[in-house]
Structure 1
Amino acid sequence: MTALPGVTAAQRRTRLARRHLLTAATRVTSAQEVAHALTGLHATDPATVFLAAAARMRTPTVAAIDAALYDTGPGAEPELARVRCMRRTLFVVPAALAPTVWHATAKSSDPHRADATAKLRDALGWDERRRAAVERALLDALAARGEASAAELAADVPDLGEQFVVSPEKPYASRQRAASPVLGLLAAEGRVRRARPVGSWTSGQFRWAPARPQPPLPAAEARTELARRYLAAFGPVTVDDLKWWTGWTLTATRAALAATAAQAVELAEGTGHVLPEDVDPLPAAAPEAALLPGLDPTAMGWRHRDWYLDPAYTPELFDRNGNIGPTVWWGGRVIGAWSQGPDGHVRHHLLADPGREARTAVEDAIGRLTAFLDGTRVTPCYRTPLERRLSGGGPESGTRGTLRNRNRRAARGS
């Protein structure tokens, strides 16, 4: 039996740093190029899109990223599109790729419709006929306005203003308007799209606009293309990585992977896969630093992460639901976390001492991030233990030492 070509963890980190634009030489000029390189940017937290793009652009500005997300020409939609796709999660993808990711993951909207229907029925007593009538009225109102906030739509369609309690038996119970599940459902089905937010670039309250119908595309063909793009950006990957990232069934994952004619390679985790033209290793490069936001597509790109993230760091860097917070990177590896204090100052903590060169590079990356933020304070949607302590000015909000060293000093009373 012929041995499979091997790809080491170090080679994978080299690929990660270059293909995910985490080096000075690979930075690009636009948010569209960033989204293309990574297939898409996680968009559950609106700030993630801006921070993920900025980390990979040569001269990032909020205005440039905002324009790519929301500016439209005559009869055209923005260059980037927000789509509920992989794992029923919001991503920002290149507009030209939106039909592919939508059709590749279209079945993910079926549970969303069931969830929204059940919520409206149980909370407000809506049957299918009433929900369908409200949807039609909403779409008519949106077509007349062109763009509208949920509050404006509720003024046109009073049923959308009906309120109900979400999770009434839980300590985090909250009130919600009917507009929220109805708009969420229509967005998941590609019938409306999120337009420019009501507030700043960190706001999650969007205006809404009609969406163009997705052109027809066979689901199997769309899955193959999405798998090919994922392999190009994230390869080598395991079957488990691709299944987790897309949310597909194992059968659909294997079929899409086979259709790409992927080449099997040997990884520390077992068998991985790369595109046929992507077997040869890349030349090693000097390590560089990067500060990435919570839910960044690089940090959330693989199911198996030991080759770029020490498992011992997981409790500090992830919340209980598996969402990663803001991270500090060096040479394609996670080495710490960052956050902003009450005054907006960027604080960070390194979970291992990477040496003087790395520490200097991290300080430079903090300078780039600070310039981009320009006084804006960002709080991640999903708070992680270390990020919370950094934002509150806890003992980890420094630039030197590891947790272990700090604990030792504390034990000595120093």
Structure 2
Amino acid sequence: MIPRRHVSDDERRARIAVRHALAPEYRVDSPEAATRAMTVLHATESATVYLSCWARVRSADIADIDRTLYDERIVVKQLAMRRTLFAFPRDLLPSAWSSASARVANTERARMSKDVVNAGLAIDGNDWLDRARAEVLALLADAPEGLSALDVRQAVPMIDVKVSGTSGEVWSAPRVLTYLGATADIVRGTNVGRFPTTRARWTLTQHWLDDASPLGSAGDGYREITRRWLHTFGPGTEDDIVWWLGSTKTVVRTALAELDAVSVSLDDGATGWVLPDDLDEVVDPGPWVALLPVLDPTIMGWKGRDFYLGPHRNQLFDNRGNAGTTAWVSGRAVGSWIQDADGVVQVRLLETVSSQAKHALETEAARLSEWLGGVKIGTG
């Protein structure tokens, strides 16, 4: 019997350097390439897409990233896995629409329909949502440049309401638009804010993208997203993929089987999975450092994070499981970074690193300070 391939923590950290385009010689040439390297970029925090690209692209300014998002539209924001907003490579969107986004939309619809009935707005919550959808889509059909959430709310009075949710939250018109974004009826289009603020105009998906259509079944979609995740983050455990997708073990096991994924052993004794053509050892590229933003996809890529977090989980994550900024040395998160009153980036280490690594981090901090040009962003 051929022994099962073992992937050590050292090799997993080398894979981060190479696959995540973080080691300098593996950086990429465009924001689109940076997005593809990571499968998707987190976009909940408006600045994260920009700073995740900054860390991975050899040379890109804010205008380059804006052009990718809003002019070329080859990277598009979409609510998907774990009800989280991500920036997707355009060709991966159909896979999300039929799988992860559809799952979110179905969950949102069930909750909102129940809330609408409980609030006394309608006897049939599904009918109310269908009527709201029809009115919003009719409005946006005549607005190819898109409308702000405020514009939509004022033009569609039936969604200009406040509804108490079952978990105690109060929602209104933006929740309806978020739901329609998950169904892929509408999309966050042109940003009328300035970095790092996002004030998106909502527009019909068919207006924003000329090739918008779901890809087959939910299974087809999950399989393609899982395939790309494995290339970016593999090896990962079944639990890692279930958590990242916000899906079920059945979905993940089916995708892994259809991909002919290969099991490997990991240092902690767990079983990881890789694509069948990804069994060759990834060679350590040598020392490297990186400064990553809040919710960067590298820090958020796995459920099991000990191989890159070590003892620093509580210092780098909040109690909701969201990561703040991070400073990295050769595949390990060793601290964070902040900005001072003048917007200058300062590294805050949680452990002792070599003098060479400390100098490299200071150099990266200076590079990021120059790139931001005094603009303040959220760091925690």
The amino acid of 2:347's aligned partner reads H
Q: Which residue of 2 aligns with 1:219?
A: 218
TM-superposition CA deviations, 1:91-121 (whole Å, max 9, x none)? 1111111001222322232111122333444
Equivalent position SS for 2:7: coil
Q: Is the 8 A contact 2:97 2:214 kept in 1?
A: no
For the structure 1 residues 131 and 161, does the alpha-carbon distance in structure 2 shift closer, same or farther, using more than 3 Å as the test? Answer: same
For the structure 1 residues 182 and 59, does the alpha-carbon distance in structure 2 shift closer, same or farther, using more than 3 Å as the test? Answer: same
The amino acid of 1:131's aligned partner reads L
Does the alignment pair 1:332 with 2:331? yes
Q: Which residue of 2 aligns with 1:242?
A: 241
The amino acid of 1:188's aligned partner reads A
Cα offset for 1:154? Answer: 2.3
Does the alignment pair 1:159 with 2:155? no
Cα offset for 1:166? Answer: 7.3
TM-superposition CA deviations, 1:50-70 (whole Å, max 9, x none)? 111111111121111111111
TM-superposition CA deviations, 1:252-302 (whole Å, max 9, x none)? 111111111112111013211111121121222221110001111010001
Q: Which residue of 2 aligns with 1:90?
A: 85
Q: How does 1:25-104 map to 2 (within 5 A)?
A: 25-72=25-72, 78-104=73-99
The amino acid of 2:203's aligned partner reads A
Cα offset for 1:326? Answer: 0.3
Q: Which residue of 2 aligns with 1:279?
A: 279
| Residues paired across the two proteins, number | 370
Cα offset for 1:28? Answer: 1.4
Does the alignment pair 1:108 with 2:104? yes
TM-superposition CA deviations, 1:342-379 (whole Å, max 9, x none)? 33221221111111000011011112211221221001
2:199 aligned to which of 196, 205, 209: 205
Equivalent position SS for 1:308: helix
Equivalent position SS for 1:276: coil
Q: Output the CA distance in 2 between the equivalents of 1:122 and 1:235.
A: 45
Q: Output the CA distance in 1 between the equivalents of 2:85 and 2:56.
A: 20
The amino acid of 2:150's aligned partner reads A
The amino acid of 2:241's aligned partner reads L
Q: Is the 8 A contact 2:115 2:166 kept in 1?
A: no
Cα offset for 1:123? Answer: 4.5
Q: How does 1:4-403 map to 2 (within 5 A)?
A: 4-72=4-72, 78-105=73-100, 106-123=102-119, 125-126=121-122, 127-128=124-125, 129-146=127-144, 147-163=146-162, 178-212=172-206, 213-269=212-268, 270-310=270-310, 312-380=311-379, 383=380
Q: Output the CA distance in 1 between the equivalents of 2:129 and 2:278.
A: 49
Equivalent position SS for 1:145: coil
Q: Is the 8 A contact 1:137 1:157 kept in 2?
A: yes
Equivalent position SS for 1:233: helix
For the structure 1 residues 167 and 252, does the alpha-carbon distance in structure 2 shift closer, same or farther, using more than 3 Å as the test? Answer: closer
Structure 2 unaligned blocks of 5 or more = 207-211
For the structure 1 residues 130 and 166, does the alpha-carbon distance in structure 2 shift closer, same or farther, using more than 3 Å as the test? Answer: closer
